[in-house]
Structure 1
Amino acid sequence: MANTSNAKDKNRHLTRFHYTVDQAIEKQFNWTQMMRLLVYLKPYSKNYLPAAIIAMMISTAVRLTVPILIGKVAIDIAIKNKDTTMLTYLVVGIGLLYLLSFVGNTFRIKWVNILGQNVIYDLRQHLFSHVQRLSHRFFDSRSAGSILVRIMNDINSLQELFTNGIINLLMDVVTLIGIIVILFVLSPKLALAIMVILPIMFYISTKLRRNIRRSWQEVRIQQSRMNSHLNEGLQGMRITQSFSQEKENGEYFNGVNHGFFESFRGASKKSAMFRPLVEMCNAIGTVILIAYGAHLILLGEENGGIALGTFVAFAFFLGMFWEPISRLGQMYNQLLMAMAASERIFEFLDEKPNVDEKENSYHIDEMKGHIEFDKVEFSYEEGRIALHEISLDIKQGQTIALVGHTGSGKSTIANLISRFYDPTKGVVKIDGHDLRDVKINSLRQKISVVLQDTFIFSGTIMENIRFGKPNATDEEVMEAAKVVGADDFIQRLGEGYGTEVEERGSILSAGERQLLSFARALLADPTILILDEATASIDTETEVKIQKALNRLLKGRTAIIIAHRLSTIRESDNIFVLENGKVLENGNHEELMAKRGEYFGLVKSQFQMLDAM
């Protein structure tokens, strides 16, 4: 009982993470959306899809033909007339038909699997490519885990639909229609007697649809929550262990896991109700067939009854009749799961970048690096202004520094220069070009950003540095590393530049990771270089080494340095002091110290802290 209580209690506190974007989507079953999914079949509509349909039609035709041959030909003609020759031909013919069906099914399975895997590949590639183009605001409001669920789990849930579902659906519909037509041709009376159960089954099944669909939506939401927690929990494992919070974290995961368990169990229960419903209808249909069919046989063909062969054919078709209905029920459940997943996938695909390109946007072929902020105002969210009508003029080749307390707007200025966000008001220009008129790639290719929390990818040292310029030669990579002083520690590693680094570069120190990010940024040969607290994680000795390299590297480039460590910006051409999104003062180090204003106070307080240490 204690564990259950814990789980419920944890579920009540799921606000620890933000899931507002993952709420259930209240929409009717949308065939337009299903057609949108089927568009991904279009590239394969001239080869694999037609081939799979032809193979399916062959095997279906065989299944519908064999019961007629057994009932109407073998029993009513060959056996009745004791024609052994005809029976022999029928046995051989039916054997060949089953062989043909086997070949058809083999190729159908092969082709639909190739078709389905290609569609899933294309869909996942499309979604990932689209997500990469979305603006920073999109990622600000979503956890990495919830995005991962859309790209992996939700698309995986469509795999069965595309690999088997669509062709099987078509096969079952054709089979069902074929059986109904044949049954009414063989005996309209007996067919009507058996079909009386269908409206009852249809009525009951439609009542289940909404609940089943909602249940699978809830499963996706709970799965997203669990993946989000797992992603955050694994990335923050060191913090968890440092504060001895393994028990609390385990209890929280128990709550999230319990929510997923309960939602999946509920959805599975509702989905499982369809199969017994079909079995019940099958049983009722069999009783009707035996009772009424026997009556019609005894009545005789001359009195409006049926022959024994017709009854046998009916028995075959009745067994086949409920099978596609049962599969269609399972297919409908599968379709509901696919709809729940596709709604979430298309929610991302329909997401438009907040920072988007105009239709008439143009490339910047050459960038000099003159940056202007003309009365720029910016808010990350309504009511919270991060920048208040900022005006800056950063000349080509200048090194400027942005200083101020946390939240003063320093990183926001850097984000606007890279156009990760657009200003709420005002204009940001580079070389006189309004950034909203410029193609984003042509802008960012000429800007390199080095952050405090640098990201190192899984792969070799060489590959990580080359990330800034994929076509760079090994010699260019090594030269960039030497310039920033990274070559020394790289050569000391086991395999030098070929050393494999784990996810996020965990085998490297913070300073070493930062040196690699410097090499990566400089290899790209940017016109504008942005250093956002780039030396914060580096020890004093390494900082001196980088400072010497930067003095050479910043020549000819426009550089924006954001730093709390004021010792790193003394040589800047201009220093802007920010507070609450406003420029309080600006000038070089000597000018600002002479003013004895805010900058003077910042320097003084920092040196007092160093003396106290």
Structure 2
Amino acid sequence: MDIFKRFIEFYKPHKRLFFFDLICATWVAAVDLSFPQLLYYSTHVLFVQGEKDIFRSCMLIACIMIVMYIIRYYCQHYITTWGHIMGARMESEMRRRLFEKYQELSFAYYDKNNTGIMMSKLVSDLFDISELAHHGPENIFLAVLEITGAFILMGMINIHLTMILFFIMCMMLFFGISQNRKMKAVFLDNRRKIADVNSSLQDSLAGIRVVKSFGNEKLEHAKFSRSNDEFLHSKTESYLAMGRFVAGGGIFVGLSYMAVLSAGGYFIAQRTLQPTDLAVFALYIGIFLNPINMLVNFTEQFQKGYTGFCRFVEIMDTDVSIKNSENAQDIGTAKGDISYNHVSFHYEKTQQVLENIDFHVKAGKTVALVGPSGGGKTTICSLLPRFYDVTEGSICIDGKDIREITLESLRRNIGIVQQDVYMFNGTIKSNIAYGAPDASDEEITAAAKQANIHDFIMTLPDRYDSLVGERGTRLSGGQKQRISIARVFLKNPNILILDEATSALDNESERYIKESLELLSKNRTTLVVAHRLSTIQNADEILVIRHHGIIERGSHDELIKMNGLYARYYRMQFYKQAEK
């Protein structure tokens, strides 16, 4: 019932359209029910009159039926056209809400869920929901009207024959409910399997360069075939279930005609039913079998839409762990004074990542984080913009707990340059402007110059309007990195996070980017995650992170004198560079 109530909520903005759709459906049902009744009236009243009276009456009935069917045409047109438009509008609203929900969910959700599966919920699931939204109420309403109307009119002809048909209908209903329960599980499995197919497809296409570089096309084909075959098996099971349902319904249809023929013959012999009435009765069977067939065909659609909406509700009910507190305030333009106060963090209360991290960064100063992979350096940086929330302790900016700052103003004050740069499929200009969507062309150009990428852009045929390709495939790693730096220049935050921004670059690209980063870091509070220790020697303080905590801290010279882990790492890199 809760699912049903939540589904009904999406009809509220379209209630006028919805109710008029039902009014049109009522007229369609009334017209469909009218012909057998007109035939019944004609055989009992009109056809016993004189020849001229019969002709005039038949012409009158023909004119009435023409008018009725013209109105029925427009009603059916409205149902088919605007009913689908209503469903499309509901689908659009659900897609908007689902996309907004995806935007709200924290990194922790994306750590556990596959992009292909999320896309499946956003596209194919919602299409089936829209079909259910349109056809569901309409089909059920039409079916109830036509079946109820047919039984009432048949009861007026012969109540005993009607009761026999009613008993057969109850048997058919019981059969339908039992089969429907079985199909529900099958169609839910369909949803999971097609999501797996989408996931496999998205994963393979996104990594196509890696696939081809290793020559693993056969491996990817095998992986896709496995998920595709599992979906085929699930789909086969669903059609087997549908086959049993439809074939079983056909038996009850035949049973209905058999009962009418045999019982009708008996009632005719008993003089309680006229042969013409039996013919009218047979027409009504055809009329109420039509909505039954409609309901049979609707069953698959209902199961797809219902299971799709259940998955939609599952996402919408996912707890947003990172959100504004009730008393959150806009911090304005932060000065950039940062404090980590005895911070601990773990994933899902099991995997310890950080323990008792405590340090302070004065506004405009630079603190570098070094240490072995997996020590928690990137996580320390991710906690500052609240990509994750601390498990214990607190993080403050300008003396204010970041959980008491609105997410929008918090992240507005922080600029991030990462090792893995993401380029949106568009132009260089639009990718730089992502840092400030309302920036002018002059501001974008100035940011590009500061990032040492302007000269390269001017060598391109379309310059700033040049396309970067999906994920920036038309650019080198260094070029993408400089565009990402230009984004941050354009954003102009007072707090900066540099997460191994130069670790995967060649020497020439590193030189350009190092100059850009030095300019970018000037007069900004900066957290640097460094792989190459030569890039952080001038940091105001260096923290060595290992075993989820800080094991060494100090300036470059102080850490060298300690002769600890930092000194060992430095000597290792120094000797490697000397060998080169």
The bucket for the TM-score relative to the shorter chain is over 0.9
Using the TM superposition, name which of 97-106 and 584-593 deviates more.
Answer: 584-593
Instruction: Classify the secondary structure of the residue corresponding to 2:38.
Output: helix
1:293–1:358 CA distance, 2 compared to 1 (3 A): same
The superposition leaves residues 471-511 of structure 1 with CA deviations (integer Å, 9 ceiling, x where unpaired) of 11111111101101011111111200001121101011111
The Cα shift of 1:535 comes to 1.4
The Cα shift of 1:287 comes to 1.8
Q: Is residue 50 of structure 1 aligned with residue 19 of structure 2?
A: yes
Counterpart position of 1:238 = 209
Please give the residue correspondences for 1:452-531 in structure 2 after superposition, counting only pairs within 5 Å: 452-531=419-498
Counterpart position of 2:47 = 79
Q: Is residue 36 of structure 1 aligned with residue 3 of structure 2?
A: no
Mapped partners of 2:205, 2:228: distance in 1: 15
Instruction: Classify the secondary structure of the residue corresponding to 1:529.
Output: strand
Mapped partners of 2:290, 2:308: distance in 1: 27
Q: Is residue 565 of structure 1 aligned with residue 532 of structure 2?
A: yes
Provide structure 1 residue ranges, at least 5 long, that are not aligned to the other structure: 1-30
Mapped partners of 1:227, 1:109: distance in 2: 31
Mapped partners of 1:33, 1:161: distance in 2: 14
Using the TM superposition, name which of 427-436 and 539-548 deviates more.
Answer: 539-548
Mapped partners of 1:275, 1:56: distance in 2: 25
Instruction: Classify the secondary structure of the residue corresponding to 1:500.
Output: coil
Counterpart position of 1:185 = 156
The Cα shift of 1:461 comes to 0.7
Counterpart position of 1:11 = none
Counterpart position of 1:406 = 373
Counterpart position of 1:376 = 343
Counterpart position of 1:15 = none
Mapped partners of 1:510, 1:309: distance in 2: 85
Q: Determine which of 64, 87, 99 is the counterpart of 2:33.
A: 64
The superposition leaves residues 365-423 of structure 1 with CA deviations (integer Å, 9 ceiling, x where unpaired) of 23111110111111124343211101010111112211111111110110010111111
Using the TM superposition, name which of 559-568 and 584-593 deviates more.
Answer: 584-593
Counterpart position of 1:418 = 385
The Cα shift of 1:242 comes to 2.4
Using the TM superposition, name which of 593-602 and 502-511 deviates more.
Answer: 593-602
Sequence identity (%)? 30
Q: Is residue 596 of structure 1 aligned with residue 563 of structure 2?
A: yes
The Cα shift of 1:594 comes to 3.1
Measured on the aligned residues, the alpha-carbon RMSD in Å equals 1.6
Q: Determine which of 104, 109, 125 is the counterpart of 2:80.
A: 109
Counterpart position of 1:274 = 245
Please give the residue correspondences for 1:116-155 in structure 2 after superposition, counting only pairs within 5 Å: 116-155=87-126
Please give the residue correspondences for 1:327-476 in structure 2 after superposition, counting only pairs within 5 Å: 327-476=294-443
Contact 2:502 2:514 in 1 (8 A): no
Q: Determine which of 498, 521, 524 is the counterpart of 1:554.
A: 521
Amino acid at match of 2:261: I
Amino acid at match of 2:9: V
Amino acid at match of 1:322: L
Using the TM superposition, name which of 383-392 and 506-515 deviates more.
Answer: 383-392
Instruction: Classify the secondary structure of the residue corresponding to 1:117.
Output: helix
Aligned pairs, number: 577
Instruction: Classify the secondary structure of the residue corresponding to 1:501.
Output: coil
Contact 2:368 2:528 in 1 (8 A): yes
Mapped partners of 2:515, 2:221: distance in 1: 48
Contact 1:400 1:574 in 2 (8 A): yes
Using the TM superposition, name which of 193-202 and 415-424 deviates more.
Answer: 193-202
Using the TM superposition, name which of 380-389 and 479-488 deviates more.
Answer: 380-389
| 4+ long deviations beyond 6 Å | none
The Cα shift of 1:43 comes to 1.0
Amino acid at match of 1:53: L
Mapped partners of 2:242, 2:326: distance in 1: 47
Using the TM superposition, name which of 431-440 and 195-204 deviates more.
Answer: 195-204
The superposition leaves residues 273-319 of structure 1 with CA deviations (integer Å, 9 ceiling, x where unpaired) of 2222222212121122223324434544xxxx234443333222110
TM-score by length of 1: 0.91
Instruction: Classify the secondary structure of the residue corresponding to 1:357.
Output: coil
Mapped partners of 1:309, 1:519: distance in 2: 86
Mapped partners of 1:86, 1:279: distance in 2: 39
Mapped partners of 2:169, 2:350: distance in 1: 59
The Cα shift of 1:156 comes to 1.9
Instruction: Classify the secondary structure of the residue corresponding to 1:382.
Output: coil
Mapped partners of 1:233, 1:491: distance in 2: 34
Contact 1:451 1:531 in 2 (8 A): yes
Contact 1:369 1:557 in 2 (8 A): yes
Amino acid at match of 2:28: S
Q: Determine which of 553, 562, 566 is the counterpart of 1:586.
A: 553
The superposition leaves residues 185-216 of structure 1 with CA deviations (integer Å, 9 ceiling, x where unpaired) of 22212211222212322232222122101101
Mapped partners of 2:462, 2:174: distance in 1: 69
Amino acid at match of 1:459: G
Counterpart position of 1:540 = 507
Contact 1:514 1:537 in 2 (8 A): no
Counterpart position of 1:257 = 228
Provide structure 2 residue ranges, at least 5 long, that are not aligned to the other structure: none
The superposition leaves residues 22-62 of structure 1 with CA deviations (integer Å, 9 ceiling, x where unpaired) of xxxxxxxxx3202212211111113x212212211222221
Mapped partners of 1:547, 1:249: distance in 2: 39
Mapped partners of 2:456, 2:248: distance in 1: 70
Using the TM superposition, name which of 593-602 and 472-481 deviates more.
Answer: 593-602
Mapped partners of 1:244, 1:553: distance in 2: 41
TM-score by length of 2: 0.96
Mapped partners of 1:107, 1:199: distance in 2: 33
Instruction: Classify the secondary structure of the residue corresponding to 1:378.
Output: strand
Contact 1:215 1:263 in 2 (8 A): yes
The superposition leaves residues 320-339 of structure 1 with CA deviations (integer Å, 9 ceiling, x where unpaired) of 11111222233233222222
Mapped partners of 1:369, 1:126: distance in 2: 35
Mapped partners of 2:486, 2:509: distance in 1: 14
Mapped partners of 1:346, 1:215: distance in 2: 19
Contact 1:75 1:308 in 2 (8 A): no
Mapped partners of 1:179, 1:422: distance in 2: 63
Mapped partners of 1:294, 1:342: distance in 2: 49
Please give the residue correspondences for 1:134-213 in structure 2 after superposition, counting only pairs within 5 Å: 134-213=105-184
Mapped partners of 1:473, 1:180: distance in 2: 71
Instruction: Classify the secondary structure of the residue corresponding to 1:576.
Output: strand
The Cα shift of 1:136 comes to 0.8
Q: Determine which of 271, 287, 308 is the counterpart of 1:320.
A: 287
Amino acid at match of 2:4: M
Amino acid at match of 2:366: T
Mapped partners of 1:132, 1:68: distance in 2: 58
Amino acid at match of 1:76: H
The Cα shift of 1:595 comes to 3.0
Mapped partners of 2:404, 2:304: distance in 1: 42
Mapped partners of 1:544, 1:43: distance in 2: 58
